[in-house]
Amino acid sequence: MSDSSKDNNVLIQLFRTFFGKHWPVWVGGIVLGTLNILLFAIKSPWGASGGINNWGENFFSTIGLFGLEEVSPVNENLYGMLCLLIVVGSFVGALFSKEFALRIPPIGEMIKGFLGGGLMAIGATVGIGCTIGSFFSGVPALSGGAIIFTIGLFIGVIIALKYLLWEMEKFPKWSSGKSFTFLAAGPKKGNWQIIVGIIVVIGVGVLAYTYSGTNLAMTWFIIIGGLMGLISQRSRFCIVKSFRDPFMSGESHGAVGVMAGLLVGLVGFTAIKMFGIGAEDVGVRAREMTWVFPHFWVKAAVGGLIFGIGMTIAGGCAVGTLWRVGEGQFKLWLSALGFLLISPISKLFIVPVFDEILPQSMKFKNYLPDYLGYG
C-alpha cells in the first residue's frame, strides 16, 4: 500500500471517528464549557436569547412594526451572528454524519413547538436570559440571579412534565398523526450531504475571514459559533434534556454533560474575574460584573419558571432549538419562529410591566463573591 493510500485511510478513519456515531454528552459539555471561556476572554460569555431577539427585532424593523428603526443588523451583532453560526455548525455536523433530514411532525407537535418557543421568549426577556445566558453562563459568572433562574427552570420543567403526561392520558390524539421525512440519507446513499457540508465549511471560513480586518471579535464569534453548533449536534447537548430526563426516564447522561460544562466554565470564569483578565478597557469591577444581570430574585424566578415550561413543551432549550433547526427538525423551526417573533413583543410590552411593579429589591444585580468572597 502506498503512503498516499495510508494517509487517505487515516483521514477517512478520523472522519468516521468524529461523524460515524454520536459523542458522549460529557465530551460535548467539556468542550462547550472551554469554548465559553474563550468567548468570555475575547469579549463576553455565551448567550442565545439576545441573538434570537436580534433576529426578531430585525424582522419587525424590516416590516416597519413597533418603531424598531435603530436595530443592529444581524451581520453586525455578535450574538445574532453567534446564534446563526450555531445553526450553520449544526447543519454541517448533520450533513457530515448524513443525519440531516427535513422532519415534519404531526400538527399538534408543531403547535406545541411554536407555543413553547413563545413561552421561552417571554421567560428569557422577563428573566434576562435563557438556559445559556442565565444558566450555563450565568452560574459560572457567579450570579446569584442565575441560581434563582435555575430553580425556576426546575419548577417549570416539573409543571410542564405533569401537563404533558396529563395530555398523553386525556388527549392522546393532540400530538398523534402522520409525520413526514424528506431528504434523508442512508449508509450507502446521500453522499451529497457530505459534499454540501464541505461547501458550507468553506463558506464559513470565507465569512470569518471577511471580518478579520475590521472586527476580530466577530471573526472569533463566527468560528466559535460554528464549532458550538457542530459539537452540540454531535453530542446531542441539550439543557432541557438534562433537566427533564432524570424526572421522566431516570437517564442522567444529559445532566452529567451539562454539569461537566458548568464546572469547566466555573473555573475559567472565576479566573478571568479574579485576575481582571480583559479589564484594561472596562475596568476590574465591570469585568467582575459581566453576565451578572439585574434580575435577583423575583424576575429570575418568574423568567426561569416560564422558560422551563416553554422549553419542555417545545422539546428544546435555547441551544437545543438552534442545533435542531440545523438538523432539519421542523417542530424546532417553529419553536425558533415563536421565540424570535414573541421576544421583541415581550421586551416592549410585558417586561416594562414587571419593571414597574417590582421594587428594586426584587430586581437587582447579585454578585455572589460580594457576599461570600471568592474563596
Which of the four pLDDT bands, split at 50, 70 and 90, describes residue 190? confident
Q: What is the pLDDT of residue 5?
A: 64
Q: What is the pLDDT of residue 175?
A: 86
Q: How far apart are CA 375 and CA 368, in angstroms?
A: 11
By C-alpha distance, which of 296, 367, 344, 366 is closest to 71? 344
Q: How far apart are CA 317 and CA 336, in angstroms?
A: 10
- Cβ atoms of 328 and 103 within 8 Å: the answer is yes
Which of the four pLDDT bands, split at 50, 70 and 90, describes residue 186? confident
Q: How far apart are CA 278 and CA 120, in angstroms?
A: 32
pLDDT in tens, 60-75: 999 999 988 889 999 9
Query: For residue 364, is pLDDT > 90?
Result: yes
Amino acid identity of 365?
A: K
Tell which wins on pLDDT, 9 or 102.
102
> CB neighbours of 87 closer than 8 A, spacing ≥ 6?
229, 322, 323, 325, 326
Q: How far apart are CA 221 and CA 160, in angstroms?
A: 34
Q: What is the pLDDT of residue 177?
A: 87
Query: For residue 142, is pLDDT > 70?
Result: yes
Q: Which three cell numbers stand for residue 162?
A: 405533569
Peptide bond into 297 cis (omega under 30): yes
Q: What is the pLDDT of residue 247?
A: 81
By C-alpha distance, which of 63, 126, 105, 100 is closest to 334? 105
By C-alpha distance, which of 101, 86, 79 is closest to 237? 86
pLDDT in tens, 214-245: 999 999 999 999 999 999 999 999 999 999 88
Mean pLDDT of the chain: 95
Which of the four pLDDT bands, split at 50, 70 and 90, describes residue 1? low
Up-side HSE of residue 214: CA atoms within 13 Å toward CB? 6
pLDDT in tens, 23-73: 999 999 999 999 999 999 999 999 999 999 999 999 999 999 998 888 999
Query: For residue 110, is pLDDT > 80?
Result: yes
> Which parts of 171-238 fold into alpha helices (H)?
192-210, 216-235
pLDDT in tens, 296-335: 999 999 999 999 999 999 999 999 999 999 999 999 999 9
Q: How far apart are CA 79 and CA 286, in angstroms?
A: 20
**Segment 112-139 mean pLDDT:** 97
- Cβ atoms of 61 and 68 within 8 Å: the answer is yes
Beta-ladder partners of 180 = 104
Count CB neighbours of 162 within 10 A: 11
